[in-house]
Amino acid sequence: MARAHQPQHPQNLPFLLDTLYCEEEHWEEEAREEYHYFGEESYYSDNTATTLKNPQLSVQDLLWEEEELASLLSKEQQNHLEINPSTAGDRRAAVEWVLRVNAYYSFSARTAVLAVNYLDRFLFSFHFQREKPWMTQLAAVACLSLAAKVEETQVPLLLDLQVEEAMYVFEAKTIQRMEILVLSTLQWKMNPVTPISFLDYITRRLALKNQLRWEFLRRCECLILCVIAGKPLD
User: Does residue 119 register a pLDDT over 90?
Assistant: yes
Compute the CA torsion angle 111, 114, 119, 121 (nearest 10 deg).
180
Q: Which pLDDT value is given to residue 105?
A: 96
Q: Which amino acid is at 220?
A: C
Q: Is the pLDDT of residue 47 over 80?
A: no
Residues 138-154 have a mean pLDDT of: 96
Q: Which of 131, 176, 169, 170 has the alpha carbon at shortest distance from 149? A: 176
What is the per-residue pLDDT across 102-111, written as a single tens digit (0 to 9) for each?
A: 999 999 999 9
pLDDT for res 23: 44
Across all residues in the chain, what is the average pLDDT? 75
- Position with higher pLDDT, 5 vs 174: 174
pLDDT-based confidence at 180, cuts 50/70/90? very high
Question: For the chain, what is the largest distance between any 2 Cα atoms, rounded to a whole number of angstroms?
Answer: 70
> What was the pLDDT predicted at 118?
95
pLDDT digits (tens, 9 = 90+) for 63-101: 667 777 777 677 666 666 666 666 778 889 999 999 999
Question: How far apart are the C-alpha atoms of 33 and 39, rounded to whole Å?
Answer: 10
- So what's the pLDDT on residue 198? 87
Interacting residues of 20 by C-beta distance below 8 A, sequence separation 6+: 219, 220, 223
Contacts of 13 (CB under 8 A, 6+ apart): 181
Task: Pick left, alpha or beta for residue 164 (phi over 0 → left; psi -120 to 50 → alpha; otherwise beta).
Answer: left
pLDDT at residue 154 greater than cutoff 90: yes
Radius of gyration of the chain (CA): 21
Q: Is pLDDT above 70 for 170?
A: yes
pLDDT tier for residue 156 given thresholds of 50, 70 and 90: very high
Give the closest residue to 163 by CA, choosing from 180, 135, 144.
144
Q: Following DSSP, what letter does each residue of 191-222 receive, concatenated?
A: ----GGGGHHHHHHHHT--HHHHHHHHHHHHH
- For the ranges 39-53, 160-174, 186-200, the lowest mean pLDDT is seen at 39-53
Compute the CA torsion angle 21, 24, 29, 31 (nearest 10 deg): 60
**Dihedral, CA of residue 63, residue 68, residue 70 and residue 75, to nearest 10:** 170
Three-state secondary structure call for residue 166:
coil
Asked if residues 151 and 111 have their Cβ atoms less than 8 Å apart, the reply is yes
pLDDT recorded at residue 80:
63
Averaged pLDDT, 17-36: 42
pLDDT, position 12? 45
